[in-house]
Amino acid sequence: MLTKTIKAFWHWAVLMQQSFLLQKNLFMKKQILYLLSLFVIVFATNGCNTKTDITTPGPAIFLLTQTSPDAPNVDFVVNNQLVFTNVPPYDSSLYYLGIPGGIANFKVAQTGSSSLLLDENIDLAPNTAYSIFTVDSLNKISFAVVVDSFSTPSSDTALLRFFNFSPNSPAVDLALTGDTVLLFANRTFNDQAVFTSYGGFGFMNPATYNFEIRETGTSTVLYNFMETFEGGKAYTIYAKGFIGGIGTQAFGTSTIANN
* 7-13 contacts at long range (C-beta below 8 A, 24 or more positions apart): 8/49, 8/53, 8/54, 9/39, 9/43, 9/49, 11/54, 12/42, 12/49, 12/53, 12/54, 12/56
Query: Are the C-beta atoms of residues 120 and 127 closer than 8 Å to each other?
Result: no
pLDDT of residue 232: 97
Query: Are the C-beta atoms of residues 79 and 70 closer than 8 Å to each other?
Result: no
196-228 pLDDT, tens digit each:
999 999 999 999 999 999 999 999 999 999 999
Q: Which residue has the higher pLDDT, 101 or 20?
A: 101
pLDDT of residue 159: 98
Residues with Cβ within 8 Å of 131's Cβ and at least 6 positions away in sequence, in order, are: 62, 63, 65, 145, 146, 148, 236, 256, 258
- State phi, psi for 117 to the nearest 5 degrees: -90, -35
pTM, to two decimals? 0.80
Q: Does position 32 have pLDDT exceeding 70, yes or no?
A: no
Amino acid at 167: P
Most confident of 7-16, 92-101, 106-115, 225-234: 225-234
Q: Does position 4 have pLDDT exceeding 60, yes or no?
A: no
